[in-house]
Amino acid sequence: MVLYLIGLGLHDEKDVTIRGLEAIKGSERVYLEAYTSILGIGKERLESFYGKDIIVADRDMVETDSDAILKDADKVDVAFLVVGDPFGATTHADLLLRADDLEVPYVVIHNASVMNAVGALGLALYNYGQTVSIPFFTDSWRPDSWLERVRENARLGLHTLCLLDIKVKEQSEENLARGRKIYEPPRYMSVPCAISQLLSLLPPSPSASSSSSDDAAPASGVAPAADALDPSTTLAISASRVGHPSQTFVSGTLSELAALDEDAFGGPLHSFVIVGRTFHALERDFARRWAVDRDNWDRVSKEVYAVRD
Amino acid sequence: MVLYLIGLGLHDEKDVTIRGLEAIKGSERVYLEAYTSILGIGKERLESFYGKDIIVADRDMVETDSDAILKDADKVDVAFLVVGDPFGATTHADLLLRADDLEVPYVVIHNASVMNAVGALGLALYNYGQTVSIPFFTDSWRPDSWLERVRENARLGLHTLCLLDIKVKEQSEENLARGRKIYEPPRYMSVPCAISQLLSLLPPSPSASSSSSDDAAPASGVAPAADALDPSTTLAISASRVGHPSQTFVSGTLSELAALDEDAFGGPLHSFVIVGRTFHALERDFARRWAVDRDNWDRVSKEVYAVRD
């Protein structure tokens, strides 16, 4: 029979496709991949909607015990559910190559993921560069390779989708050392946290600490280089809970977004896009509707991004 | 009430989500945007599945007569269906800004589009650069700006998703001049056509005309620069009809793919990905399964892309 990889989409039990739902209902066992993203609802609601028990598959199980998932999949259908699209956050190539070894065919049932649903911000998907993931900094670990990728995109005029860290099933150092399977509460990075980490990596600049429109224009009147990521003249658009009924978009300069309270963005998951210079008038108007300060949005669009009507 | 923008996904009537189907069934009027992509089926099958008449909205209608689509949408629900995701090929920002003007709220119901479903090729979506569209060349018009974007991606080690031209509802010059609304049959660019157009823009190189493994290695033993796009040492993976039951993936060098018959890729829609240097061993193994020549795939991966196990 078949291993189905089924995307669940972005919010709740009704975001699965008709094709996906039929495959789930016909499957003997149903696994839910539970480490690369989260739905807005618990697995109980999925179980009652599907009329099926769900086995939660954590990273350990998928990476080290894929044969348990594939067991008998040559005789019965097995469904492997992934929030978003099955290939969104990770390709699951190990699992699928193992299925090939066991001569179990697989069928992918795609769905929306943040990688394409971010199109709802109104910036053309064609003009995005590579996507980055921003990890939580600690006192002793402040990785910054993602910032170079943001700069590479910016130099080409491209937008950057920034996905924010999720810590699920993390163990404290003490519990890890003692081999105790006690997990910390999940942590989800917010937009202000991510942007303040970003700003902490930038060299100090005269306008870096300012978000007012008077000070924001470079004194020389010369627009800063795109890859300088000047916080008061670099536009960004946040996207929280994309595809959920409560999704929230906020647009403004990096300084403006960093200064907002976390509540302005609501609950997890948060992401944001750093706007590249390919920005044009229709995109400006579309995202202006969510601007912290519409006048400043228009001013930076015109003076720094050179958007013309 | 509400304007629903609903993604239909990639293949047939069963690729809509449960949420999307409920919204369609509750809508007073249902439009199908019919110019940026195609489903694998006709609108009649959608109509009988939904139990609703469908009004086909061509580009003209959406761009110049959006008020007809939005008529009474403050009193009744209206559904606007888009193949793939509503923001995949175009943002529909004009329509949505007009909805705002008329104080009609809109709700987006996302779905898979080629922009994220291409993840099924096994290359991490994070490592894609900007997407390009390759237009049909004519005798007098051979636009090449997209090739520079491929090179920009290649220099950064990134993959490029190449979407191929669709000509739907095109008029001949004569019919256009005479104002006759007679349309040519639709045309869909194939992978060999797209790659041969690409190759025609490259400067001639010693190995450019060869696809055999003996001649393909540069005589000097030095790997060519990534942005040279040497056809015998640049890897690519084609993806036809992504998300359809008949989807077909083929991997190989640009030369190998260009030399195949169109039948090897099957019917439209075709796209392909030019593999960047971020390529790694698991991705090589995953895509090897579709290789024209597995030995050459491994050889180029190792010698040119420096993939290590």
Going along chain A from its start, the domains and CATH numbers come out as 3-112 (3.40.1010.10), 115-303 (3.30.950.10)
A142-151 per-residue burial string, b: 16 or more CB within 10 A, e: under 16 = eeeebbebbb
| Bridge partners (DSSP) listed for residue A272 | A162, A238
pLDDT for the residue B119: 97
Smallest Cβ distance to B126: which of A86, A111, A131?
A131
Distances (CA, A) of A174 to A139, A167, A177, A182, B193: 17, 17, 5, 10, 60
Mean pLDDT (10-residue bins), chain B, 309 residues? 96 96 98 76 90 90 89 96 91 92 96 97 97 96 96 97 89 88 89 97 67 48 80 98 95 98 95 97 97 98 95
Q: Measured between CB atoms, does B125 come within 8 Å of chain A? A: yes
Q: Does B293 contact A at CB distance below 8 Å?
A: no
CA distance B178 to chain A (A): 33
pLDDT of residue B213: 47
Instruction: Look at B18 and A15 and tell me if their CB atoms are within 8 Å.
Output: yes
Q: What is the pLDDT along chain A (309 residues), one digit of tens a residue?
A: 999 999 999 999 999 999 999 999 999 999 999 766 667 778 899 999 999 999 999 888 888 889 999 999 999 999 999 999 999 888 899 999 999 999 999 999 999 999 999 999 999 999 999 999 999 999 999 999 999 999 999 999 999 999 999 887 788 888 889 988 888 888 999 999 999 999 999 988 655 444 444 444 445 556 788 888 999 999 999 999 999 999 999 999 999 999 999 999 999 999 999 999 999 999 999 999 999 999 999 999 999 999 998
pLDDT reported for residue B41? 79
Whether A18 sits inside 8 A of B19 (CB atoms) is no
Q: Which residues of A touch B110 (CB under 8 A)?
A: 9-10, 15, 112, 116-117, 120, 242-243
Residues in the annotated binding site of A for S-adenosyl-L-methionine: 10, 85, 88, 113-114, 164
For B85, the closest of A17, A119, A130 (CB atoms) is A119
CB pairs under 8 A between A and B: 170
CA-to-CA dists, residue A162 to A292, A303, B27, angstroms: 19, 25, 36
> Distance between CA B62 and CA B70 in Å, rounded?
10
Residues within 8 A of B (CB atoms), A 21-80 only: 21-22
Chain B CB contacts of A112 below 8 Å: 7, 85, 110-112, 116
CA gap B33, B25 in Å, rounded? 17
Q: Which of A307, A306, A199 is nearest to A259 (CA)?
A: A199
Give the residue from chain A lying closest to B288, CA to CA: A97
Mutation target to probe the A interface, by most A beta carbons within 10 A, among B18, B83, B134, B249 is B18
According to the model, what pLDDT value does residue B208 have? 46
Closest residue, chain A, to B146 (C-alpha): A126
Instruction: Give the closest residue to A40 by CA, choosing from A258, A227, A246.
Output: A246
Looking at residue B129, its pLDDT comes to: 98
A178: Cβ contacts below 8 Å, ≥ 6 apart? none
